[in-house]
Each structure stands twice: as C-alpha cells, then as structure tokens.
Amino acid sequence: MNKKRLLWTLQQEAKNRLEAIGWKEPLKGKKISADTSYYSVKNLEVCKDLGVDAYVPDPQFRKRDIRFADAARHRRSVDKRHERYKSKKRWFSVEDFKLDDHSGKLICPAGKSLYVKNRNFITPNGYKAIAYQAPKSACHDCRLRSKCLRNPNTVSRQVHVIYGKRPGSITDEMKQKIDTEQGRRIYSRRLGIVEPVFGNIRTCKRMDRFTLRGKIKVNIQWMLYCLVHNIEKIMNFGKTYAMCPG
C-alpha cells in the first residue's frame, strides 16, 4: 500500500479502537511522527483534521540541517555488490546551482553565470521566486548541455529560485515546524521508539518474511508476532517497575 495514503488508515484505525474502549477524541493533541515516506499533502491534511500534532519531514529536510552538512564524506564508496554509488538524477536541478553573494548571480555546474531576469516571478504552483537566465553564449557549446537542458532545442537554461513562504501552505508549515530545534528533537525520538520494534521482530523473533499466503493469514501471523512483542515489553516493564524503590 502507498505510504502517502496509509497514514490516514493507521490513524483512523487507532482512533476507532481507542474510542471503542471509552476514550474521547483520543488523537487530538497527541504527537505523531512518521518518516519521509509518509510525507504528502493528503497525510498532512488528515493529521490537521484529526487535531494531531504531527511531525512528518519532507525528503529534503536533512539537507537543510547544518548538522548533516558534511555527511557525504562518511558515506561508503561502495555498496554490498561493490558497485560505485551513482546519482540516478538525469538532469541538473536547482540544488546544483550556487549563488554568488558578491555578484548576486547564480553559478551553474559548468561555472557560467546566470543573470536575474525577474525578481517577482510566480511559478505555476503559486511560489514566488527569482527567475535566473543563462546567456545564449554560455549554453551554446557547453559540455554539460545534455544534462542541463531537457529539450535540445532550448536556447539557454532558466532557473527559478523560490523564496518566502506561501501563505496557508500546509507543506510549508510542516517544513518550518520540522526545521525547529524542538521539531527535530521530537522527530529524532523515532529512532528509540519505532525502529527497535522492527529490529526485535526481525532479528530476535526471526521474522524476516511471512510464511503464509493471503491477506487474512498474513495479517494473523503479523498480529501474533506483535502480540508476543508487546507481552515481552510488558514483562520487562513490570520487572523494571518492581525494582524501582518506593
């Protein structure tokens, strides 16, 4: 199932089950975090409708975090198959261009300067942006032309650098929220809450694949493993609680 729509189902099921045991508005004001796979306008709208305090980062949120500015140098040069990491991106995007603070021009991957064409450009999605244009001479015989211009007949490259925030945008609101110190701290708690569950079930319980077929049987098998996992947590919590003084 597509995760961009799954968050609604998960929250609705949790809401129904909690209401069945007597909770009123069980999700309202509760903090929920999900990884970038769940980031979509639909999921964010559902969280807002349910009154959930959600923390769902967009795919680019780590690139905006200064703590990960030099993360690339720690990446392995080869994968499990000893193949070099290669970018799957076919064309240059806005992130490949750099702004020269002194001249105010945008520098392309080939080192050419783009001038400001329009400072009040509005994109089809409603973003306010600065439109940059490359001189014709810069793109005519450029060695990187095939990776920069999708249409071979295009004379020169244009780049739209978005600034400001769209009023009322639910995605921009989430980006601002997740970029705060509190937002990143709350989201980082997933590492100690969610991930150990999968690690325990897959490694300790040795469930790295389903052994049954059919949605009903698979669901029953998954619930049995989750039941064992939860019982184990209750047992461990009980022992810890009993050892606490007072």
pLDDT in tens, 196-214: 888 889 888 888 888 989 9
Following CA atoms 33, 37, 40, 42 in sequence, which dihedral angle do they give, to the nearest 10 degrees?
A: -80
Contact 41, 170 (CB under 8 A): yes
pLDDT over 60 at 166, yes or no = no
pLDDT in tens, 216-226: 999 999 999 99
Among left, alpha and beta (phi > 0; psi -120 to 50; other), residue 202 is: alpha
Tell me what pLDDT residue 245 has: 45
Of residues 126 and 112, more confidence is placed in: 112
Residue 47 phi/psi, 5-degree rounding, is: -60, -40
Average confidence (pLDDT) over 99-117? 86
> CA-to-CA distance for 235 and 41, rounded, in angstroms?
40
Report domain extents, the chain: 94-162
Query: What percent of the chain is predicted at pLDDT more than 90?
Result: 29
Label residues 130-145 b or e (16+ Cβ within 10 Å = b): bbbbbeeebbeebebb
Residue 144: which of 111, 98, 105, 114 has the closest Cα? 111
Tell me what pLDDT residue 73 has: 63
pLDDT in tens, 59-90: 888 877 777 766 666 666 555 554 554 556 67
Residue 108: which of 139, 151, 85 has the closest Cα? 139
Distances (CA, A) of 75 to 60, 67, 72: 17, 15, 5
This model's pTM is above 0.75 = no
Neighbours of 229 (CB within 10 A): 16
Tell me what pLDDT residue 130 has: 87
pLDDT in tens, 26-40: 998 999 999 888 888
Query: What percent of the chain is predicted at pLDDT more than 70?
Result: 82
What mean pLDDT value characterizes the chain? 82
Exposed / middle / buried, residue 174 (Cβ in 10 Å: 0-12, 13-18, 19+): buried
The residues, ordered by sequence, that sit 6+ positions from 131 with a Cβ below 8 Å of its Cβ are 116, 117, 118, 119, 121, 158, 159, 160
pLDDT over 60 at 15, yes or no = yes
